[in-house]
């Protein structure tokens, strides 16, 4: 690699989950602290960070084609390219060997070293860092700056569950919880920077544990209760949870902490106990349903969300129909469904009975039809409800705004006469008209926040 000029502008492109979005924001903050500025929309950046996702197929191919596109667009002055995220972790060496245009490869637990790696790259030395301990990363990151009304806060990383289909335990490492005091400080800075809502993130966020400011051992509910004391913080959410890490305290918090929103994302993956066992999920379909009942008892209006995989190796038509029955029983407000994708190095990738693509396509279509039906049904059932909408951005028409209901529905509304709204406001609306992906609201009173 040749020596090059120090980059002055950057662009971070994040793919995949919300934890990657959080990491992407933190990388941008690191780069800003180093004196780089965000490349204006539509302009080539001197440094491009591809913050990649490895969860499903074709992730690596996508990275190579993105690299090719960047090199081509740069002409005789190609950008400095950094590959970050889970593909970097899983396939770093291969990327370095195959793509000479890549100046650095940095894993999800090592990106705090990005600034030094840029200096190396400027000097003509390519560098790879896929070290694992995550605590070092958080300690080395700069303080948070100005943020939007809804902010992410990673509280837990990694996974010890080893579901047989999943790469996360290999790419993100073992479960770790960030310390309570650090999280409280980061949350306070986010709120001071403009956040009204914080979503606590973790691959197994409900496995978070720590010691509170009085030295008591606490779980996620303890952290949530303490964050709820931050005056200007209006809303708290958390994602993603695992059924086996649910505590009585967290369930109870849904009935007791007003700022904790009535929404639960709790992946189940399949409605068949045989498939769940083969996935190493360590819970049954019935156990999952009983858990949801307890959430509903604590917070009757709670909106439920989940993740599903169709076509796991060996899944029969009858087993898939058990998933449809579970969906019918739950009536999800929202859900995410995927075709099984064999991931290199995971146990399921070499299991017998890989399901043909056409069968997977058919099952995914049927499952999504059921989930879409329920999402629309949930939105329709919410018509007539009054709620606060946290305003996130302007809508397409003048005077129109877009935000989120407590149940995480996208709500759009027209500003009331004499009551101009602004980003970050909580506006009281009546939910008036339901669509499959959004709800129209009618302002009940001018902005209150």
Q: Are 18 and 239 in contact (CB under 8 A)?
A: yes
Query: Structure tokens of 44?
Result: 């080539």
Q: Smaller CB distance to ligand SF4: residue 130 or 380?
A: 130
Query: Structure tokens of 388?
Result: 């606060």
**What is the rounded CA–CA span in Å between residue 105 and residue 205?**
27
CB of 341 to ligand 5AD, least distance (A): 4
Q: Smaller CB distance to ligand 5AD: residue 142 or 345?
A: 345
Residue 56 touches which member of ligand 5AD, ligand SF4, none, C-beta under 5-8 Å by kind: ligand 5AD
Q: Smaller CB distance to ligand SF4: residue 17 or 443?
A: 17
Residue 341 touches which member of ligand 5AD, ligand SF4, none, C-beta under 5-8 Å by kind: ligand 5AD
Residue 338 touches which member of ligand SF4, ligand 5AD, none, C-beta under 5-8 Å by kind: ligand 5AD
Question: How distant is the alpha carbon of residue 324 from its chain centre?
Answer: 25
Phi and psi torsions of 83, nearest 5°:
-105, 120
Q: Smaller CB distance to ligand 5AD: residue 66 or 307?
A: 307
**Residue 258, burial from CB neighbour count under 10 angstroms (0-12, 13-18, 19+):** exposed
Three-state DSSP class for residue 44: coil
Query: Structure tokens of 126?
Result: 């390519």
Q: Smaller CB distance to ligand 5AD: residue 103 or 306?
A: 306
Q: Smaller CB distance to ligand 5AD: residue 55 or 104?
A: 55
Residue ranges in contact with ligand 5AD by CB under 6 A: 55-56, 165-166, 267, 269, 307, 309, 338, 340-341, 343
Residue 131 touches which member of ligand SF4, ligand 5AD, none, C-beta under 5-8 Å by kind: none
The tokens 């409280």 sit on which residue? Answer: 184
Task: Choose among 89, 97, 74, 164: nearest CA to 129.
Answer: 89
CB of 334 to ligand SF4, least distance (A): 17
CB of 91 to ligand SF4, least distance (A): 12
Q: Smaller CB distance to ligand 5AD: residue 27 or 167?
A: 167
Secondary element (H or E) of residue 411: strand 410-414
CB of 30 to ligand 5AD, least distance (A): 26
Query: How many Cβ atoms are within 10 Å of 344's Cβ, its own excluded?
Result: 12
Distances from the Cα of 202 to the Cα of 34, 153, 271, 373, angstroms: 28, 9, 24, 29
Residue 261 touches which member of ligand 5AD, ligand SF4, none, C-beta under 5-8 Å by kind: none
Task: Choose among 123, 130, 131, 147: nearest CA to 28.
Answer: 147
CB of 85 to ligand SF4, least distance (A): 5
Phi and psi torsions of 270, nearest 5°:
-155, 155
Please, what sign has the CA dihedral across residues 358, 362, 363, 364? positive
Residue 343 touches which member of ligand SF4, ligand 5AD, none, C-beta under 5-8 Å by kind: ligand 5AD
Three-state DSSP class for residue 159: coil
Residue ranges in contact with ligand SF4 by CB under 6 A: 16-17, 19-20, 53-55, 85-86, 167-168, 171-172
CB of 57 to ligand 5AD, least distance (A): 8
Q: Smaller CB distance to ligand 5AD: residue 30 or 355?
A: 355
């Amino acid at each position: 690699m040749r020596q090059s000029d120090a980059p002055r502008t950057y662009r971070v492109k994040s793919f995949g989950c919300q934890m990657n979005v959080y990491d992407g924001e933190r990388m941008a903050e690191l780069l800003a602290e180093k004196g780089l500025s965000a490349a204006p929309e539509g302009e080539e950046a001197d440094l491009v960070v591809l913050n990649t996702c490895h969860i499903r197929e074709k992730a690596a191919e996508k990275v190579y084609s993105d690299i090719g596109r960047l090199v081509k667009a740069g002409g005789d002055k190609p950008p400095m390219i950094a590959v970050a995220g889970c593909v970097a972790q899983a396939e770093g060496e291969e990327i370095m060997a195959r793509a000479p245009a890549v100046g650095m490869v940095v894993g999800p637990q090592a990106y705090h070293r990005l600034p030094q790696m840029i200096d190396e790259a400027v000097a003509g030395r390519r560098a790879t860092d896929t070290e694992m301990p995550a605590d070092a990363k958080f300690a080395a990151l700069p303080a948070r700056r100005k943020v939007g009304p809804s902010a992410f806060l990673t509280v837990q990383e990694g996974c010890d569950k080893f579901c047989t289909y999943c790469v996360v335990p290999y790419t993100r490492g073992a479960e770790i919880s960030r310390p309570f005091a650090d999280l409280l400080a980061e949350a306070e800075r986010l709120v001071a920077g403009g956040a009204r809502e914080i979503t606590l993130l973790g691959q197994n966020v409900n496995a978070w544990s720590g010691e509170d400011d009085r030295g008591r051992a606490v779980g996620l509910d303890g952290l949530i209760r303490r964050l709820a004391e931050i005056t200007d913080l209006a809303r708290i959410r958390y994602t993603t949870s695992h059924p086996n890490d649910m505590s009585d305290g967290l369930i109870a918090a849904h009935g007791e902490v007003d700022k904790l929103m009535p929404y639960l994302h709790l992946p189940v993956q399949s409605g068949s106990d045989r498939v769940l066992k083969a996935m190493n999920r360590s819970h049954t379909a019935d156990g999952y349903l009983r858990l949801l009942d307890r959430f509903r008892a604590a917070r009757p209006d709670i909106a439920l969300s989940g993740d599903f995989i169709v076509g796991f190796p060996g899944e029969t038509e009858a087993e898939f129909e058990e998933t449809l029955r579970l969906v019918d029983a739950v009536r999800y407000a929202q859900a995410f469904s995927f075709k099984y994708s064999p991931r290199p190095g995971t146990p399921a990738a070499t299991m017998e009975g890989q399901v043909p693509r056409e069968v997977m396509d058919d099952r995914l279509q049927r499952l999504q039809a059921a989930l879409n039906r329920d999402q629309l049904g949930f939105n329709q059932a919410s018509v007539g409800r009054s709620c606060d909408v946290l305003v996130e951005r302007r809508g397409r028409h003048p005077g129109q705004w877009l935000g989120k209901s407590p149940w995480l529905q996208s709500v759009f509304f027209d500003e009331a006469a004499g009551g101009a709204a602004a980003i970050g406001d909580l506006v009281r609306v009546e939910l008036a008209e339901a669509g499959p992906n959004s709800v129209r609201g009618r302002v009940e009173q001018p902005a209150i926040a």
